[in-house]
Structure 1
Amino acid sequence: MAKRDYYDVLGVAKSADAAAIKSAYRKLAIKYHPDKNPDDKEAEDKFKEAAEAYEILSNPEKRQRYDQFGHSGNSASGFGGGGMNMDDIFSQFGDIFGGGSPFESFFGGGSRSGGGRRVQRGSNLRIKVKLTLEEIAKGVEKKVKVNKQVHCHTCSGTGAKDKSAYHTCNTCGGSGSVRRVTNTILGQMQTTSTCPTCNGEGVEITSKCTTCKGEGLERGEETISINIPAGVSEGMQLSMSGKGNAAPRGGVPGDLIILVEEVQHETLKRDGINVIYDLYINFADAALGTSVEIPTIDGKAKIKIDPGTQGGKILRLKGKGVPEVNSYHKGDQLVYVNVWTPKAVSPEERSLLEKLKDSANFKPQPGKSEKSFFERIKEYFE
C-alpha cells in the first residue's frame, strides 16, 4: 500500500514551519495514543504513521530530501524514514512535549519500553563515503568499519558488575513510573510520574561494572554493509536507522548518517544525470570523417564523426548517463567535439596548408556556416 503524503498525514501545508509541524503531531499523538485506544489497530497505525511523518518533517535535512525526492529520498535501500517501532516513537516525546510528556500524567510514561520504562537513545554518527562515477551510476554495496560506542563486552550493556548487582527496581516494580492517588474536592485523582529511584529505567544497579563504570558502553568497531542506490549525488545524506552509537542499558541506538562524496573521473564530467566528454579531433578527421573510441560509464564505445563536422558540435549517446535516484530514467552522455588546431607546423605541412587555404572549400562561406556552439546547446536542451 502506497504511503500517504507526510504533509497530509499531519494536516499541514508544505510551507508549515517547525512549530506548526510539532503542534500538529502533538495533537495526533494524543488522539491516537495506544493507551487511549487499547486494542484499536487502526488507531495504532495512525499513531505510527504520524510519528514517521514527524520524524521526517521535523528534521531539516530529511525534510529537504523528502521535498526533493518524495518517500524515496529517505527510505531508499533501507535508509531512514520507515519501520519505526514503539521505542523509537516514545523516544520522541521528550522533544515534542518539552521533556515532560503529558503521557506521564495520563498514560504512565512518555519515553518508554513496555510498561512505561524510560528508554535512552544513542547519539547519531556521521561518516563520509567516497564513490566513483561508475559506482554512482550503477549503485554499490560498501562495507565500512565504523568506530563507535557499543555495548560493554564485560556486562553486555547492563552497566552492572554481575547479574546479582542488576535487578528490577523495587520502587516501581520495573515499570519506570510511580502512581499516586490524591484526594481532591472532585474526588480521587490518579497521577503518574517518573520513578525517583531508577529515573524511569525500571532497574537498579547496586554495583557498577568495572570496565564501563556503569555506563554499559565502550568504544568498539563494527563493519557495516551499506547498500547505496544508483543516482546519488555529491553532498546527499543517507541514514541507516539503529546503526549509530549504542544506548546505555538496552536503549534505542542512534542512526548512521552517510555523506556522499564523488570522486572526480579522469575523463568524464557529471552534469546532473548527464555525463559530458570533451572529444578532440584533428582538422583532417573533422573534414574527412572518422570513427573514434571514447570512454563511457559502461566502458569503451565507438562513435562516427561525419565528414565536415564543425568544432562545437554536440553528439548524444542516449541512456549513457546517470539514473535518477529510485527511477528507471537515465541521463545521456554528451560528446562535445573540439577541432584541434596545431600550434606549430613543419615546413612540409605549411606548404600543404598554403595550397589548401586558397581552395574554395577551405574558405568560410557567410550564410552557410553552421550554428554557433551556444546555439547548438540551446537547441539541444529545448
Structure 2
Amino acid sequence: MAGSGYRDYFKVLGVDRGADADAIKRAFRKLARQYHPDVNPGDKTAEAKFKEVSEAYEVLSDPDKRRRYEQFGQYWNQAGAGAGAGPGGFDVDFGRYGNFDDFINDLLGRFGGPGGAGFGGAPGGFAGGGFPGGGFPGSGFGSSGFGGGGFPRGASRPPVNLDAETSVKVSFGEAFRGAERTLSVNGERVQVRIPAGVKTGSRLRLKGKGNLQPGTGRRGDLYLNLEVQGHPVWRLDGDQLRGELPVSLDELALGGTVTVMTPDGEAEVSIPAGTAPGRSLRLKGKGWPMKSGRGDLLLSLSLRWPSEWSEEQRSLLEQLRGARREDPRGDWLQKARL
C-alpha cells in the first residue's frame, strides 16, 4: 500500500486495542466486504481503503506481529525478523487472483485465519442470506463464500456461467411457419423470432438476456429449449411430414382424384385403382421446412367405413360378394398351418 508513517491498525479496523482474534477477523470481513473493488468498481479511494484494512489485518491477525506492533509501534517490523511487508509496504496484486474468494482464502491462509465461514460467520456466504448463490458480488462464484472455497492455493476456479435456459412450448403451426413470441425475461419483455422448421429439442439463443452478475453488470445469454406440441393429423418423422388420409372402399378399389388438405392449403391427389389400405402417397416438397428447402409429405391411406349402411349399399355389397371370383385367404390357410 502506498504511503508512509504510523497507522493505528486498531483504529483502521475499528476495534479496541484489547480486541481478540475473532473480533479482529469479524471487523476485517465487514470492511473487506464494504471496500472491495468489485463492489466499488473504479473507486480508487475504496481500493486504497481495502488495502489499508488488509494491511491492518495482516499485522493484527498474526500473534507475533501484533506483539511487536503493540510494543514498538511504527518500528515493529524492524524489531524482529520481519517476514512480510511492514507499514507502508503492504500491497495487493489482484492480477494474481481469479476472483475475490481466491484472494481471501490466500490472505487468511497466510495470516493464520481459518477458512470455512462466510461473511458474518455464515458458512459459505453472507450472513442473512447475502447475495444470490452465496457468493461475493462481482466474484462470479457461488456457494464457496469467504475463506472456505475448498480450492488449493493457486488453483483456478471454474469459469462463471451466467447463462440461463428455459423451456418454451410452441404449437405445431408456429413450428411449421415460424412465429413471433413475446416473453417476459427478468421483468423485461423480449420479442423472440421463432424460425420456420424448428423441432422439439431446437434451441434459440437470446444474447445478453441471461443472469445478471451483481456489482459488475455482466450478463449471460438465455437459451430457449423448444417443445413442439402435437397435432391431431400431422406428425413429424425426421424431415418428412406424415398424416393419415381417410378414403372409402370404392376410392381404393376404383381409384380417382380426391381433394386433400396440406399445410400449404388444399390440393388434389390421384389414388390408383386397386390401392391397398395403408399405402402412402408422396407429395414431394410439401413437407417440413429445412435449410435446404422442404421435405416430403406422406399421406397414408386409411379405409374409412360408413358409420351406417344404407339398404342400397348393403345390396351392392351382396352383389359384390356374389360376383367375387377369388378367395381372399387363398393359400394363406396352408401357409398359416403350424
TM-score, normalization by structure 1: 0.42
TM-score, normalization by structure 2: 0.47
More strand by share: 1
**Rg larger in 1 or in 2?**
2
Identify which of structures 1 and 2 has the higher relative contact order when contacts are C-alpha pairs closer than 8 Å and 6+ apart.
Answer: 1
